[in-house]
Chain A
């Protein structure tokens, strides 16, 4: 954040000074002196009345107190103690005015927190200097407080931004709310460019929210002097209108709705263009200070970053949605996940592989018309694909009539053998319905499924420009061989898959199969029924 310029404290600044003294002669003298020095004097006859005046919210705040010590009701010490114990008043400078006789008590007052003291009779030049010094000191402390408040508020906004980095609305709400509060504006709004328009997207204060809605309806698009948004667009920088009623060009009906007088517009700049505008309004004519404008400019930078982030997330989301139409949703998610690169690079994991292909397909493809062939494949892929998604499988590929699906990768699934078998049972049922229809058309097609559980290497294979996410290993090969062995309507399980789900299904042993690529015979089980709890 750029440095906030330090407000210069003028020695001749006018102050409102409260004279607390029980002697009317003293009060008259001091008030007269203060007035001649350009200050404004308020008077109180004793400590109690002095405190009441300091605490009077209806009266203008007091900048400096001149305090006598010996007074009826509440004396100077008691009044001083009360002022310093009051968190609101503690920072008000107190100058004790007393007689030389009271020197020891003056020292005591300084210890209690009095800013300074004057001994009677005093030189008017001395009073003038003491008041100026106290004022300068108080303004410096006030400024420090104000700066700290600003710093705290800025930190608050930064916290919200880092917490909800990708929630643009939350960030804009936090910015407009904090900016409005910090600059003591009646309301604030943020407009963002949407197509060729600047639409209100966030508002703080009742009028702010109402105006966000009104602006969408009434606002003329593009630059112009009729609105503060138009002027920001015209000048490319921050614009302040000290009093909209005194500005002949300002002409937005929202003024009548909200009744504001002073307006500030600060551009939100992204990629060198004005992507939005932060707008603050006050219902009195009180221009925003340079320091306040600096704070809003810093907020505008944060808004620009938040908008950038949100657009980036939007792009990634869109890419993922688009990608998911081409590849398995799990793989699309994997690609954009933080650990994606590591998983894509290759890893070993136990999976359950399901291989399915069609019986009678070679004959069918030789005799059927191309349109018929594509129609059958589309129906088959559509029905099976839906079941893959439903059971959470990862579809490695469709290749003609064959398809490979695996479980437990890239998303870990503890019950992967059960999921695989449940999906296969659903596929068999669904396929039977499709096959009935095709039978009427004279196509004799059946589905054979092989399932195997075991270790495989998974990751990205292929070449630049055309990669696949693939599973390689014995489990995959065995599933493929079992599916080749399966007759129409059969689901053949390897030993390990069967062992994992034996309580949930009924099987008939399919014997020891001699399979290509396997040196020893492989035990296989044909799923003939299930307990109903498998899905």
Chain B
């Protein structure tokens, strides 16, 4: 169903502008994101295993927040769905939802690595 790009070009362009076109800083930001996100996913898994909707809220919220920074809108949307459900106190089907989040995160990681290799050049040329 998803025809959305993994990363939203407009958001990436705006991000690049807001950091003063500093690719080194974006690299640092990506590194922080890629290394912290697995810990958030692990926390989310643990909350589901423990049957605690309350404990699920924070890790998926944080993942949603940082993912949207890079324009990873699909991932952010999936995480947001989980957050809303957890806030409502339900864990119905969240395990499958987390599988989807993990798969999307893998795609985001690949897309970000491509950007880094290109030194974020497409971001400068974005319309």
Which A positions have Cβ atoms within 8 angstroms of B? 22-26, 28-29, 32-33, 36, 70-72, 99, 101, 120-121, 124
Contact residues in B for A24 (Cβ distance below 8 Å): 32-33, 36, 66
Known contacts A101-B80, A124-B18; is-contact A28 B32 (Cβ 8 Å): yes
Interface band, chain B:
20 to 34
Decide yes or no whether B61 CB sits under 8 A from chain A.
yes
What 6 A-B pairs come out closest when comparing CB atoms?
A25-B66, A24-B32, A70-B61, A25-B33, A23-B66, A23-B62
19 additional contacts, CB 8 Å, given A25-B32, A99-B65?
A23-B62, A23-B65, A23-B66, A24-B36, A25-B29, A25-B69, A26-B66, A26-B69, A28-B29, A32-B19, A36-B19, A36-B20, A70-B58, A70-B61, A101-B84, A121-B11, A121-B68, A121-B69, A124-B18
Contact residues in B for A32 (Cβ distance below 8 Å): 19, 25
* Complexed CA–CA distance, A33 and B25 (Å): 11
Contact A71 B84 (CB under 8 A): no
Known contacts A23-B36, A25-B29, A25-B36; is-contact A120 B68 (Cβ 8 Å): yes
* Complexed CA–CA distance, A101 and B62 (Å): 13
Contact B65 A26 (CB under 8 A): yes
Instruction: Name B1-42 residues within 8 Å CB distance of A.
Output: 11, 18-20, 25, 28-29, 32-33, 36
Decide yes or no whether B123 CB sits under 8 A from chain A.
no
Contact B66 A70 (CB under 8 A): no
Question: How many A-B Cβ pairs are below 8 Å?
Answer: 51
Contact B58 A99 (CB under 8 A): no
Contact residues in B for A26 (Cβ distance below 8 Å): 65-66, 69
CB B17 to nearest CB in A, in angstroms, measures 9
Contact residues in B for A101 (Cβ distance below 8 Å): 80, 83-84
Contact residues in B for A25 (Cβ distance below 8 Å): 29, 32-33, 36, 65-66, 69
CB B115 to nearest CB in A, in angstroms, measures 15
Contact B62 A70 (CB under 8 A): yes
CB A254 to nearest CB in B, in angstroms, measures 53
CB A82 to nearest CB in B, in angstroms, measures 19
Contact residues in A for B83 (Cβ distance below 8 Å): 101
Interface string of B49-86 (1 = CB under 8 A from A): 00000000110011011101100000000001001100
CB A74 to nearest CB in B, in angstroms, measures 12
CB B10 to nearest CB in A, in angstroms, measures 11
Chain A's closest residue to B37 (CB) is A25
Contact residues in B for A124 (Cβ distance below 8 Å): 18
* Complexed CA–CA distance, A23 and B84 (Å): 19
Chain A's closest residue to B34 (CB) is A25
Contact B58 A29 (CB under 8 A): no
Contact A99 B36 (CB under 8 A): no
Chain A's closest residue to B61 (CB) is A70
Contact B64 A29 (CB under 8 A): no
Give the most central of A33, A99, A124: most B CB within 10 Å.
A99
* Complexed CA–CA distance, A25 and B84 (Å): 22
Chain A's closest residue to B84 (CB) is A101
Q: Which of B29, B58, B65 meets A120, CB within 8 Å?
A: B65
Contact residues in B for A23 (Cβ distance below 8 Å): 36, 62, 65-66
11 A–B contact pairs at CB < 8 A? Answer: A24-B32, A24-B33, A24-B36, A25-B29, A28-B25, A29-B69, A32-B25, A36-B20, A70-B58, A101-B80, A120-B65
Contact residues in A for B32 (Cβ distance below 8 Å): 24-25, 28
* Complexed CA–CA distance, A101 and B61 (Å): 10
Contact A99 B25 (CB under 8 A): no
* Complexed CA–CA distance, A468 and B104 (Å): 115
Contact residues in A for B65 (Cβ distance below 8 Å): 23, 25-26, 99, 120
Give the most central of A70, A71, A120: most B CB within 10 Å.
A70
Contact residues in B for A121 (Cβ distance below 8 Å): 11, 68-69
Contact residues in A for B29 (Cβ distance below 8 Å): 25, 28-29
Instruction: Name B73-116 residues within 8 Å CB distance of A.
Output: 80, 83-84
Give the most central of B19, B61, B69: most A CB within 10 Å.
B61
Contact A70 B36 (CB under 8 A): no
* Complexed CA–CA distance, A33 and B32 (Å): 17
Give the most central of A22, A33, A36, A120: most B CB within 10 Å.
A22
* Complexed CA–CA distance, A22 and B11 (Å): 22
Give the most central of A25, A70, A71, A124: most B CB within 10 Å.
A25
* Complexed CA–CA distance, A124 and B19 (Å): 10
CB A394 to nearest CB in B, in angstroms, measures 94
* Complexed CA–CA distance, A26 and B68 (Å): 10
Contact residues in A for B64 (Cβ distance below 8 Å): 99
Contact A22 B62 (CB under 8 A): yes
* Complexed CA–CA distance, A70 and B84 (Å): 13
CB A18 to nearest CB in B, in angstroms, measures 19
* Complexed CA–CA distance, A101 and B81 (Å): 11
Chain A's closest residue to B67 (CB) is A25
Chain A's closest residue to B76 (CB) is A99
Contact residues in B for A36 (Cβ distance below 8 Å): 19-20
